[in-house]
Amino acid sequence: MIAVLTGGTGGAKFVDGLRQIVPPEELTLIVNTGDDLIWWGLYMSPDLDSIAYVLAGLLSKERGWGVKGDTFYCLQAMGDLGQPIWFHVGDRDLAVHLLRSKLMAEGKTLSEATKEIASRLGVTAKILPMTNSRVESRIGTPVGELSFEEYFVQRWYQDPVQSVHFAGAAEAQPAPGVVDAIMSANAILLAPSNPVTSIGPILAVPGIREALRETQAPVVAVSPIVGGAPVAGPAGILMAAQGLPVSIAGVAQAYRDFLDLLVVDTRDAAAAEKLRETGFHVQCARTVMKTAEDKAQLARAVVALISGASTAPASTD
């Protein structure tokens, strides 16, 4: 079984590749819930949904979130009723939020609701929220502390970032199955997700980072930083705010205590060579995923690297 720690858009692209080459029953996805929000009174979990949609073949590839071909009649009607509409929710997407909120109002945990939604979408891979507790990524800015979605979607990540913290993390527990998956996996992959606000909240749940350090399985990360910048989004700004260099070295630093191998883009070959000199195992591959074939190719390359990851000497490619 391969366990994958993942967030939203970058994670979903990587998982889209993995699902093309790994049987679904061999995949366990451990998903960030630090972006979760209550919106229109409903419990929304954007990263859990992106992963469920991609595994169900429903994700909108143009937008990178939500359901492909969705309509937005409800969003428009809510706007007409004077409600905030900066967080875009499609009509079919809304049905998932309604079902999750209904299940949770009936007393189901987020894990149980996630399992039911995945099964109703026909997903056979195992999707686990990182925790059933409420852990919220909070971004400190000059205009005040913002939730991740306020910072990212509402305000287009224009505010200078002064701090990042994960409210509720210290009291949280890993969701059922998360630590078991890490301990019993044949390999653990960290998707090229934002290291600070997608992988960071997962690592902040007490017990998860420790399990990554202890597991016998090789832990392999794909860098979301390519050519010294994120492929998309605020990862660079958030890494800098956390005192991490915006480079593959910064990604390695974020995961240094448990990482066996970092997969970086071929265009970072020179930086990879420098990183190897500091003792990290680094391999180069084409990591920018534009087409279905790019995604499958990266997944194939990473899966091929897994077996030698814990013992391989530093690569020279």
User: 16, 230, 284, 305: which one contacts ligand GDP (CB under 6 A)?
Assistant: 230
Write the binding mask 275 to 314 for ligand GDP: x where contact by CB under 6 A, - elsewhere. ------------xxx-------------------------
Spatial CA neighbour of 50 closest among 22, 31, 75, 25: 31
Q: Is 294 exposed, middle or buried (0-12, 13-18, 19+ CB in 10 A)?
A: middle
Taking CB under 6 A as the binding criterion, the range among 76-84, 163-171, 192-200, 243-251 that sits at the site for ligand GDP is 192-200
CB of 59 to ligand GDP, least distance (A): 12
Helix axes 46-55, 110-120, angle to 10 degrees: 30
Can you tell me the distance from the alpha carbon of 169 to that of 213, in angstroms, rounded to the nearest whole number?
19
User: Closer to ligand GDP at the Cβ: 102 or 153?
Assistant: 153
Q: Which of 96, 187, 211, 235 contacts ligand GDP by CB under 6 A?
A: 235
CB of 66 to ligand GDP, least distance (A): 12
Is residue 192 involved in binding ligand GDP (CB under 6 A)? yes
Could you tell me which stretch among 114-122, 220-228, 277-285, 303-311 binds ligand GDP (CB under 6 A)? Answer: 220-228
Hey, is 150 helix, strand or coil?
helix
Classified as helix, coil or strand, 169 is helix
Report the length, in residues, of the chain: 317
Shortest Å, Cβ 106 to ligand GDP = 28
Complex with ligand GDP: residue 108 or 165, whichever CB lies closer: 165
Angle between helices 46-55 and 91-105 (to 10 degrees): 120
Compute CA distances 112 → 102, 104, 139, whole Å.
12, 9, 29
Residues 12-71 binding ligand GDP (CB under 6 A) are 13, 35, 47
Q: In the bound complex, what is the minimum distance in angstroms from residue 197's beta carbon to ligand GDP? A: 6
Query: Which residue of the chain is nearest ligand GDP when measured via CB?
Result: 10
Stretch touching ligand GDP by CB under 6 A, among 98-106, 165-173, 188-196, 208-216 = 188-196
CA distance 170 to 267: 38
Task: Please report how close the Cβ of residue 103 comes to ligand GDP at its closest, in angstroms.
Answer: 23
CB of 81 to ligand GDP, least distance (A): 28
Asked if residue 289 lies in contact with residue 18, where contact means CB atoms within 8 angstroms, the answer is no
The span from the first CA to the last CA of the chain, in angstroms, equals: 28
- Beta strands 144-147 and 136-141, pairing class: antiparallel
Nearest to 257 by CA among 225, 194, 209: 209
Contacts for 179 with CB less than 8 Å, ≥ 6 apart: 207, 208, 211
Is 233 among the residues that bind ligand GDP (CB under 6 A)? Answer: yes
Around Cβ 80, how many Cβ atoms within 10 Å?
9
The stretch near ligand GDP (CB under 6 A) out of 36-44, 124-132, 213-221, 227-235 is 227-235
Per CB under 6 A, does 201 bind ligand GDP? Answer: no
What are the residues binding ligand GDP (CB under 6 A)?
7-11, 13, 35, 47, 191-194, 198, 222-224, 226, 230-233, 235, 287-289
